[in-house]
Structure 1
Amino acid sequence: MLSLHRILLVAGLLAAVSAAGQLDEIFSWNQLEFAWPNEQAKQEALHSGAYIPANNLPLGLARWKNKLFVTVPRWKAGVASSLNYVELEPRNNTAALIPYPSWKANIIPKDNKIDIDSVVSTFRVTVDSCDRLWVMDTGLADILGEGNQVAKPALVIYDLNTDKLIKRYEFQPSDLKEDSFFANVVVDVNPGRCDEAFAYVPDLGAYGLVVYSCQENTSWRVQHNFFHFDPLKGDFNVGGLNFQWTDGVFGLALSAIQNDGYRTMYFHPLASTKEFSVSTRVLQNKTIATDPHSYYLFKIEGEKGDLGQASASDLDETTGVVFMTQLNRDAVACWNPRKPLSPNTLALVAQDKERLIFTNDLKIDSEQNLFILSDRMPSFLYTELDPNMVNYRIFRIKVADAIRGTVCE
């Protein structure tokens, strides 16, 4: 007779497989293609090495109306364009990526003198409720090769209604450390108060958080022990590859506005299975945020369990549920913060040992659609991808469908 524990485990696995079956695979590529101005431009880029198809890996996403933004970091030489979008309708599962806001803004000149609205290399972007696209530009090209620091790390903000640059804010020297690396950004804005927005940018390489105030047009760096990786949780097995990472604070998710007018920011290092939180009341006050005595204002939410390492996370304000990737499990999980976090309150909402290898990013849009991007990145970094098979996928599922029947509901 099956034990109760085994029955629950089997039921959980069946639920995960069922949810994976509901995923709508809206885009898939063997290799990325771009919407070149003409065939001659493409052939010239191929000939010069400005475009090496195998070196273009999609990593981050965000949705605004009919645009689904897709980032392509300049891990290697030959990335055609780092900031792009595809149109959701009319549907084309292998759509070519369209550079945003233009081709020119995504091309690195030979003298490295970029325009103010240019994007050198971005990992993740976010869309706020004020119709703005926030881009964290690392400014670093050919990361795994020569490492060309074309520009300073900067937040680049666009007006999505006009496709025009609003602001480029370069990080201050005090924001940066020797090993700083910025691969994410979330934006905190209250309805009708667009000019008072805050951006939170995790530094996964030097274990900190940069806070940017739109109103004051300045930034400050926050330090905390919870931003560091867990040395016991840096071992990964993904897509048949074993590797070790030391990435610190990475995934950020903001709650709805609380009674005190602030949000809760849930966060975790990538090489960790724990989840933490802090009120944005702490982060938005430079004096408090940078005061060592604020240590105890940060809280531990709980433990995700073995193999629970996550990259990206996002929170659905309607249900209050947090979604997070599960890199070692080829999956996506959910957690309802109304319940203490533990392996029993973390549920897999989708798992697929083929289609969800390395769930790199996820985002929830204003219509409660959950978008998931998987890209086999470890194979891209450490071996090579087979151009004859599907390597990159983007899925969509309604939040309500994803959590139905789970402990998150």
Structure 2
Amino acid sequence: MLVGSWLLFWLLAVGERVSGQQPTFGKQLKAVTQWKSLDFVFSSPTERAEAIASGRFIPANCVPLDMEVDYNSSPLRSRIFVTVPRFIEGIPVTLGTISSQQGVSGPLIEPYPNAAIQSNPENRRCDGIVSVFRTTIDECNRLWIVDTGKIGDRRICLPKIVAFDLRSNQIIHRYEIPADQLVCDVSLLVNILVEVRDPPPTGACSKTMAYVADVTAFGLIVYDMSRGKSWRVTNKLMNPNPDYGTFTIADESFDLMDGILTMALSPRVQFPDFSFNSAYRGSRTSYSSVLQNDRLLFFHALASISENAVRTSVLQNNTAWEQDVGAMPRAFRVIGRRTSQSAPEAMDSNGNLFFGLLSQTAIACWDSTTNYNPHNFRIVAQNLETLQFPSGLKVIRNRKGVEELWVLSCRFQKIMAGTLNTNETNFRIQAMQIPELLDGLRSCSSRR
């Protein structure tokens, strides 16, 4: 479903807030939408009732994890995509858009691109969509997903990378990850980052790389669309750290040993003094010379406080990785550490990295021309109620060319602890234009 751009503008401008919120630090992100529990668009009330009766739809099992915003496929209307992974049975839609129809607990989710491609995921046809954790839109107006191929721990199909043309809403690219690049039934591919190396307006969008995180087998799948091939990359920095496998959020704790979860790319422009220099201290190769025709891929494991980086040229050297999935171990560097575990991250065009701090129920920002440490972090938003487990975070450029920070929070600690109360607001999407978030400054390290 399409959401009017005037509505998004109004929500962002007015800053609709949930009653009772108490700001604690930084700015307060502006509410876009929220749910107590998720509900979906069905063809009829009868179909919905049948889905509930059969167990195909169990409302308590449906948890939104990520979102994306499409400003460009229509000049008049925008739409918000939402992913609902099939952690468990009872989830009728795993990829959808927020519709204009209002349910009892929030706006209804409409299947994207249609219901048929997501229904009956257990039929093993494997030409539909089984389960999607996260999604991204590239500069070429393509929506990318990685389908895990799993329901819970059960492998239904091999995972696949799928791209949709957002103007036609048709699948324009599909690639199945080879079984020999997975770790038996352990692998779970939960995130995809796309790098277009020949972007518009001059490029043809054909030279596209995708980086896919394997959160449970601790690796990356690197995919070269132009060559139609992929390879597996592993490094010890993709592993979880047992010291940080316990998460405490809003006084509730759970244990989860997830490895590499999230990634972000440095901007295409060069920085004269980038923090990767400190990681290469003593090396004759400076960051500025390395990045003449290169970018950095930042990444971290969920159960960790370390932020890491590797040059994309290293990842794209398929010959080395096809010979040894653990090749070039010292090409990956720890660039610094946080005070808390973090889930998603995203970088803006000025090199500011935004990320959640889970234990602090906050969103932080780091200027990537400085050393990565808490002294150089800026808390740009913090709220004990509305920022419980930010699980989706995106930097999105609107029609006016202004970058916005969008955040989806899902109270994941309550899901893990079994304490989710569907009479309370549990899932929220919030946003703010980055110039407003940073008080009009280009860098989150700048001070007036």
Q: TM-score, normalised by structure 1?
A: 0.88
Partners of 2:34 and 2:172 lie apart in 1 by 32
> What is the SS of the residue equivalent to 1:185?
strand
Structure 1: runs of 5 or more not aligned:
1-15
The match for 2:66 is: 60
Paired residue type of 1:151: C
Paired residue type of 2:354: F
Larger mean CA deviation between 166-175 and 282-291 belongs to 282-291
Q: 2:144 aligns with which of 134, 145, 166?
A: 134
1:269-308 alignment, distance < 5 Å: 269-289=301-321, 294-305=328-339, 308=340
Partners of 2:256 and 2:25 lie apart in 1 by 31
The match for 1:372 is: 407
Q: 2:353 aligns with which of 322, 336, 351?
A: 322
Larger mean CA deviation between 258-267 and 394-403 belongs to 258-267
1:343-389 per-position Cα deviation (integer Å, ceiling 9, x unaligned): 11122211111111111110111231111011111211331411111
Cα shift at 1:17:
3.1
Partners of 2:40 and 2:370 lie apart in 1 by 44
Partners of 2:169 and 2:39 lie apart in 1 by 22
The match for 1:121 is: 131
The match for 1:207 is: 218
1:6-33 per-position Cα deviation (integer Å, ceiling 9, x unaligned): xxxxxxxxxx835342x11111101112
Larger mean CA deviation between 293-302 and 208-217 belongs to 293-302
1:88-118 per-position Cα deviation (integer Å, ceiling 9, x unaligned): 999x99321111010111112563324x2x2
> What is the SS of the residue equivalent to 2:206?
helix
The match for 2:83 is: 71
1:244 matched to 2:260: no
Q: 1:82 aligns with which of 73, 88, 94?
A: 94
The match for 2:279 is: none
The match for 1:408 is: 445
Q: Percent identity?
A: 32
1:262 matched to 2:262: no
1:12-65 per-position Cα deviation (integer Å, ceiling 9, x unaligned): xxxx835342x1111110111212222221111112111111111100111112
Contact 2:254–2:417 (CA<8 Å) still a contact in 1? no
Contact 1:239–1:376 (CA<8 Å) still a contact in 2? no
Partners of 2:212 and 2:411 lie apart in 1 by 25
> What is the SS of the residue equivalent to 2:227?
coil
The match for 1:185 is: 192
Contact 1:254–1:266 (CA<8 Å) still a contact in 2? yes
Contact 1:251–1:310 (CA<8 Å) still a contact in 2? no
Aligned residues: 383
The match for 1:156 is: 162
The match for 1:12 is: none
Contact 2:145–2:163 (CA<8 Å) still a contact in 1? yes
Structure 2: runs of 5 or more not aligned:
1-22, 72-77, 271-290
Contact 1:174–1:220 (CA<8 Å) still a contact in 2? no
> What is the SS of the residue equivalent to 1:184?
strand
> What is the SS of the residue equivalent to 1:174?
helix
1:340-351 alignment, distance < 5 Å: 340-351=371-382
1:220 matched to 2:231: yes
1:102-113 alignment, distance < 5 Å: 102-108=114-120, 111-113=123-125
> What is the SS of the residue equivalent to 1:232?
helix
Partners of 2:146 and 2:227 lie apart in 1 by 19
The match for 1:232 is: 243
The match for 2:19 is: none
Partners of 2:444 and 2:164 lie apart in 1 by 38
Which of structure 1's runs of 4+ aligned residues deviate more than 6 A?
none
Contact 1:185–1:202 (CA<8 Å) still a contact in 2? yes
